[in-house]
Structure 1
């Protein structure tokens, strides 16, 4: 089972302590204007910024700031939301889980009620480059058929896609070919008013910039690879060009995209169940971990009675957050990988994780029931399903 093999291969990276990877954090104050925060992001070349309130860490990032309007007057406070932090002695695997779940690139490290630094996704990627990953190919990790955008479309449309889809990279189609990649950082930079412009002229300039065509905006120094290229080559290309994505091509046709997040998925948590169960974006509280474990362990056991060739199951959890509220819809996707069958994929969205998991459970069992009908009644009785 390839995921089992990868999981074992990555164990020594997963268990590395955070304290060996701490770098400087970019901290802010809730009273800072959005303009000041953007300047800090630009100066420090970071993606996420942080503020410690009591014992909680509040954060925002480049993609969230795309929603900002009057950046010279508006305070950053309304864009801050709570995220988990780690201590120096916690593992890189926990950091990777937080990054995947919250779709961030930096995780704060707190000691004695102070933010002492961050662990970045780039640091973890560098660690992975030290391993022999030549047997892990691009086709195992890349995101297929990524969203693309035409260079003739407006920057505001690109911004809307990034916000709605929670992505930071958009390949740009220009004269029938992908010639650049537009990132959330490029869009943020495009709406910053010139220092020569006064405050009164800032809003019209921002609106004008957003309605402009994408044109040549974006980076042309994006590495490219084929589906059969290995992970070491891909990571080295990304580090050499100092980019956070790599395009996967077949001849001149775009097949997919690999981002830091796609690579960090290789460090996903594995829950001990009869069938290998991997969690991407593991919740940070133990209660939800136990809920997922118990729910899917039972489902997988029943599935295995119908599909003896089940290789593994993957659960991807994303939580949408708005402002400084912890509440947000959970988007959970389950993929069941079966030999000689098309993978079973189910998705459910809701505010209550237990209800979302229950909905997925029912979807899985309904599918299982339909498949079981095509077999003998004995096999249906064996798994304890109703006979219609």
Structure 2
């Protein structure tokens, strides 16, 4: 039932969405966050693209901090990317939006709720809400402080905390709820602080900002629960048995059945510095594709590959290739030169294999023998 939608391109789901630069301050990001029901939005970084999430903003200590420092690096989509591949990337990277890029510029975004509207139109017969829920979610008591909520949000990198009172569901508090309170003008003036420090000073109970939850009964139909979430413009539903919490389902969880229809995701590969004629035969792209396949098998966290090619040397006949493999935590840089560009890529591939081999099996340290 998901096959048709999974095979479509994301081009039909592109929407306009505010895009900030990584050099802009956090207080500008809050304004964007308040105007959307989602918990994240795209950011154009100095190198690549990212998503700023509400729980990450709670780590900030100054409203003037640049948002690029807290944005999570994510892969960019093209308009030809399949919906199934995009859903898989959203699930893997735990985000609700992904940028859609053309000529290295963000032309729009793909939103999880927009994709799920497409799922709802087609139906999802035979699926229950319990099939996709996260059991035993992290919770907080209504009498606990907002400082504890911030700690749970940031340490666990989550945006939803079900609130319990005497073991029963009392409501929901989100990272965005806390942000809006934390960043209000009065808060900044009276507290003179930011983030966790300001919240710990106030010691406000979570129950003071708890809102009534969107909830579904155990074994409720997937489509019925999704319809309720989308109509309420929510990003989650709690799963309950009476007043007892059984689990939680976020937009990411709703995407999982669609993502499962995509066995692999081809890495986004961006090439610059080559003429149209050189790209036409596809030989270079094929080399990069082979590199991508090898990289994803050995470094599963790689989500983007960029290759920059330029001619160097007195005669301008030598190719210099700089290859960058992006992961959420680091960027692997490899470069080489030569007269035959295909052989240059072969050399880089061998170096990549060698560097991976050394990382997996680092050489043992040798210590000098002690004198008896």
Instruction: Pick the aligned partner of 1:104 from 65, 73, 95.
Output: 95
1:252 to 209, 223, 243: 243
- Displacement of 1:206 in angstroms is 6.8
Q: Do residues 328 (structure 1) and 329 (structure 2) align?
A: yes
Kindly name which structure, 1 or 2, has the bigger radius of gyration based on alpha carbons. Answer: 2
Q: How far is the alpha carbon of 1:214 from its aligned partner?
A: 0.7
Q: Find 1:192's aligned residue among 155, 158, 183.
A: 183
Is 1:18 paired with 2:19? no
Whether the 8 Å CA contact 2:191–2:198 is kept in 1: the answer is no
CA distance in 2 between counterparts of 1:150 and 1:288 reads 49
Residues 92-101 or 118-127, more deviating: 92-101
CA distance in structure 2 between the aligned counterparts of 1:196 and 1:246, rounded to whole angstroms: 30
For residue 209 of structure 1, what is the aligned residue in structure 2?
199
Indicate the SS of the match to 2:173.
strand
Aligned to 1:64, the other structure's residue is in SS state helix
Which residue is 1:39 aligned to? 31
CA drift at 1:234? 0.5
Match of residue 224 from structure 1: 215
For the Cα contact (< 8 Å) 1:63–1:168, is it kept in 2? yes
1:142-221 counterparts in 2 under 5 A? Answer: 142-194=133-185, 198=189, 201-203=191-193, 207-210=197-200, 211-220=203-212
Gap regions ≥5 residues in structure 2: 269-288, 303-325, 331-355, 361-372
Equivalent-residue separation in structure 2 for 1:213 and 1:289 (angstroms):
49
TM-score, normalised on structure 2?
A: 0.68
Q: RMSD in angstroms over aligned alpha carbons? A: 3.3
Structure 1 residues 190 and 283 mapped into 2: Cα distance closer, same or farther (>3 Å)?
farther
Cα distance 1:89–1:238, how it changes in 2: closer, same or farther (>3 A)? same
- Tell me the distance in 1 between the aligned counterparts of 2:155 and 2:187: 33
Equivalent residue runs for 1:84-103 within 5 Å: 84-103=75-94
- How far apart, CA to CA, are the structure 2 residues paired with 1:139 and 1:292? 35
Q: How does 1:1-388 map to 2 (within 5 A)?
A: 9-53=1-45, 56-71=48-63, 73-194=64-185, 198=189, 201-203=191-193, 207-210=197-200, 211-220=203-212, 222-269=213-260, 284=267, 290=293, 326-328=327-329
| TM-fit CA distance, 1:127 | 0.9
- The structural deviation recorded for 1:205 is 9.1
Query: How has the CA–CA distance of structure 1 residues 45 and 270 changed in structure 2, closer, same or farther, with 3 Å as cutoff?
Result: closer
Count of residue pairs the alignment pairs up: 289
Q: Which moved more, 1:59-68 or 1:286-295?
A: 286-295
Deviation larger for 182-191 or 57-66: 57-66
Q: Any conservation in 2 of the 1:26–1:44 contact (CA below 8 Å)?
A: no
- Deviation, structure 1 residue 45: 4.5
Alpha-carbon separation, structure 1, partners of 2:187 and 2:244: 43
Confirm or deny: 8 A CA contact 1:192 1:206 kept in the other structure. Answer: no
1:294 shift after superposition? 7.8
Unaligned 5+ segments in structure 1 are: 1-8, 272-277, 296-316, 320-324, 330-353, 359-388
Over 3 Å counting, the alpha-carbon distance change for 1:53 and 1:29 in structure 2 is closer
TM (norm. structure 1) is: 0.66
Name the SS of the counterpart of 1:235 in structure 2.
Answer: helix
Check whether the contact 1:25–1:108 (CA below 8 A) recurs between aligned residues.
no
Q: Distance in 2 between matches of 1:115 and 1:294?
A: 29
Output one character per residue of 1:288-319: Cα deviation in whole Å (capped at 9) or x when no partner: 98569989xxxxxxxxxxxxxxxxxxxxx889
Q: Structure 1 residue 208: deviation in Å?
A: 4.0
- Are the aligned partners of 1:27 and 1:50 in contact in 2 as well (CA < 8 Å)? yes
Cα distance, 1:265 vs. partner? 0.8
